[in-house]
Structure 1
């Protein structure tokens, strides 16, 4: 395993345990078995590490183009919501700590903005899929992809919050939760 991968694995572990507000690059470097200087060779700052963990170590979402026409729209959206449940369950404990520290939140927000990332990403991903299905004629023009994607992502995030609050590493009965969330949106 290469140094960058060791750093990402260590960052994922430390961020899950301590949250982004309390984790330090020094702790992450120590956990990766490298110097902080070497960590900075691969990642500009803690926000870049966080984005790296989310994009390379968190559960992934199927690309919208790969889903269009593959199954029914409801089945595809249910798959995406299931993936959102897993993604949020993994990432929520890492990110939640930042909300309690306004100055850290501002710095984090600025850092993510520089990287072209932010919390709207998962909802935009689902929106892209829904827009593609509208274009393909498989989803009614009456569906608002932006509103539907925010409702779906918001429900998934809420379920991840409940799991984290209960001390659970994942959303219980995630497949069933995904089905009921999608059914409530009525695509």
Structure 2
């Protein structure tokens, strides 16, 4: 059975897109968001700029695609790992660890501390949406905790969800924190979960 030319071309386009995204992720990690150029990404991917622009019309489109790629990967990791937990604190630790790992991989805290104004504006402008995204990530585990009687009396699911979203939204860009090693995703996850759940859970 032969493969249709259209399928072969689509597969090649998908492979090229993936190659560009991974090169873009590497460039953002090394140079920071503000200093990463389309030329840098094309060079890192081993492609011409014309090929790069055929897939992404500008930096904004490329960064958006990188962000969505990372979000899908984060959510898959959280769903797989947090689904095996039995307490809200453990589930929140997984969420925070995954978010922290992504931020550490991109050296967000370092770039912010070094004065990356483009990244700082981006983080500030997207903070509300990031809280919404994190709220969606913790929602199933808050519901599970409420059903199990794990939440303290008087604390609603909405309150717990919003507090956790506020607490975890910046897990990947922590700087200047002395009580935890911000370069260690597991340490950040455990620390944030312990602090965030202390007032929410009966046995926390």
Q: Report the CA distance shift for 1:65/1:34 in structure 2 as closer, same or farther (over 3 A).
A: closer
1:81 aligned onto 2:96: yes
SS in 2 for 1:23: coil
SS in 1 for 2:57: coil
Structure 2's unaligned 5+ residue stretches are 1-11
Choose 1 or 2 for highest CA Rg: 2
1:153 aligned onto 2:169: yes
Hey, what does 2:117 align to over in structure 1? 100
Offset, 1:94: 9.3
Give the Cα–Cα distance (whole angstroms) in 2 for the partners of residues 172 and 22 of structure 1.
Answer: 22
Structural mapping, 1:1-187, within 5 Å? 2-56=15-69, 60-62=74-76, 67=82, 71-91=86-106, 92=108, 96=112, 100=117, 105=121, 118-136=126-144, 137-138=147-148, 140=151, 142-143=155-156, 144=159, 145-154=161-170, 156-159=171-174, 161-162=175-176, 171-185=182-196, 186=198, 187=200
Give the Cα–Cα distance (whole angstroms) in 1 for the partners of residues 110 and 66 of structure 2.
Answer: 10
Q: Report the CA distance shift for 1:56/1:133 in structure 2 as closer, same or farther (over 3 A).
A: closer
Root-mean-square deviation (CA, aligned residues, Å) is 3.7
Give the Cα–Cα distance (whole angstroms) in 2 for the partners of residues 65 and 23 of structure 1.
Answer: 31
Asked if the contact 1:62–1:80 (Cα under 8 Å) also holds between the matched residues in 2, the reply is: no
TM-score, normalization: structure 2? Answer: 0.64
SS in 2 for 1:21: coil
